[in-house]
Amino acid sequence: MNGIGLFAESGAILSPEAGYGLLLLFGVLWIALGWWWGRQAKSYDGFAVAGRNVGLAMGTATAVATWITSNTTMLAPQYALQLGIWGAVAYSTASFGLFAFAPMSGRIRRLMPTGYTAVEFMRRRYGWIGTIPFLLISLFYAVTWLVSMSMAGGKLLNVLSGIPYEVGMTVVVVVCVAYTLFGGMYAVIGTDFIQSLIILAGLVVVAIAVLTQVDLAEIHEDLRTERPMLLSAFFPAALMALFNNMLFGFGEIFHSNVWWSRAFAMREGVGPKAYALGGVLWLPVPIVAGFLGLAAPSLGIGISEPDTAGPLVAATLLGTGGALLVFVVVFCSLASSIDSLLAATSDLIVNDIAEPIHKRVGGEAAEDRTKRQWSAAAIIVLGAIAWIAALPNVGTLATVLFFAGPMVGSCIWPILCGLYSRRASSQAACASMVLGSVIGLVAYFTIGWFTASLIGSAVSGVTFAICCRIWPGDFDFETLAED
């Protein structure tokens, strides 16, 4: 009998009936809430950027909920299980991206008060020579993130309740596609607010409950004798992973339209406060989740797939109640990120692919109704692509997600310098993204996933600096505000 069957018989894991019941409950709840909030989306502007009127509470909640992904609740324990103390700390460095993006979001809002996407900024700032590689990277990253979270949904339901991976993954994707279709950004931010409260409260309860069930001194002693490298301050792979993850976090947030669309959706002056506060609230989450991975070896729990360590440890220690709580927390973290990606990437497809083609062919801008139809089609297609790519269940969440690491890392310097330096040039932007991505991917395959973002970011930064010396730009930031 497999491990999941043994746990189910012991009562530590939910029954399949309970799992299906929770899926039905939360699926109906999120779709209903998406429809309710989506009634406010009377125009494409409302659908895409929530009327540009999101306040501090909602803005902070959507930042926290979107950044507490399945990767936070499932990858942080995997990091700790495989890389030790530094692994858990490494994932927490992703909060630095939120802190850094806080002032950037305010500048983005001021420079492009009617903007929609990060690609739109690149097009106006660098022209098509800098836009094409950035657009390709953005689309690839969005699909990669969608696939990793779809996989996480299937793995979670399989570990906690024995629901087949394919069924659980399919339901998660379908539910998120459905309620995002109903309300766009209004539905996404509204559900994010509730999801963030559930996630934070659930993680606090799980952390307290687990600490009452384990002996920290015993865990430390077991790790010291059985796996001393996990406690070492000089674990080479862990140290590389720390800086790799930090730069990956910067690249994720700086380039992704998930974060730019929120900057455009928030009222002027709200973005810097919301992102900074979101970073503070998010910072301890991966450390708490990572502890579950450190506890696994000491508890003698068999982990066949390292990215399921966190939910499995919590559910095993806390029984049915723990499994229920873990299910709710991770399901909310999945939904809050998948919906954000669907909405933000559909904006990118509509505004940066379909709209320019429509203007070139028809000579005029598309109507609101047409753009809404394009958005709906894009959301459905993205969901279908994620489902098809996640279905084989190949690799762990880390290996899937960090395949995009060198690409997003190579976008850090074109975005950062493009926002603040008039000397940043299109040649530098294009060359840095291409070379950083290529050499970073070589590192991914020849060295390991935990080095790719670090190497890609470094190569991109050096390339950008050299190219700006050879081909300096002279950009007028006032042109970004032009329609």
Residues 103-118: b if buried by 16+ CB within 10 A, e if exposed:
ebbbebbebbeebbbb
pLDDT reported for residue 150: 87
pLDDT of residue 271: 93
HSE-CB for 423 with a 13 A CA cutoff: 9
Cα–Cα distance measured from residue 187 to residue 37, given in angstroms and rounded to the nearest whole number: 5
CA distance 108 to 254: 11
Of 362, 455, 403, 426, give the one whose Cα is nearest residue 140: 403
Residue 159, H or E segment: helix 128-161
Chain position carrying tokens 């992102």: 275
CB-based burial label for 394 (10 Å; 0-12, 13-18, 19+)? exposed
CB 185 within 8 A of CB 322: no
Task: Specify the pLDDT at position 104.
Answer: 96
Residues of the chain with pLDDT under 70: 1-13, 70-71, 220, 230-233, 298, 300-307, 395-401, 483
For residue 464, the SS3 value is helix
CA distances from 46 to 58, 151, 196, 231, 365 (A): 15, 31, 22, 50, 18
Q: How far apart are CA 78 and CA 305, in angstroms?
A: 9
Would you say 75 and 307 are in contact if contact means Cβ atoms under 8 Å apart? Answer: yes
371 vs 127: CA distance, rounded Å: 23
> How far apart are alpha carbons 448 and 454 in whole angstroms?
11
Domain 3-394 fold: Sodium/glucose cotransporter (1.20.1730)
What size, in residues, is the chain?
483
Q: Are 479 and 124 in contact (CB under 8 A)?
A: yes
Pick from 76, 90, 147, 70: nearest CA to 395: 147
> What distance in Å separates the CA atoms of residue 231 and residue 242, rounded to the nearest whole number?
14
Q: Which helix (H) or strand (E) holds 184?
A: helix 165-211
The single residue listed with the structure tokens 């692509």 is: 385
Task: Mention every residue, 6+ apart, whose C-beta is less than 8 A from residue 236.
Answer: none
Alpha-carbon distance of 145 to 128, in angstroms, equals 25
- For residue 213, give the DSSP letter: T
Q: Which of 138, 287, 265, 133 is nearest to 207 (CA)?
A: 287
- Residue the block writes with tokens 């070492």: 232
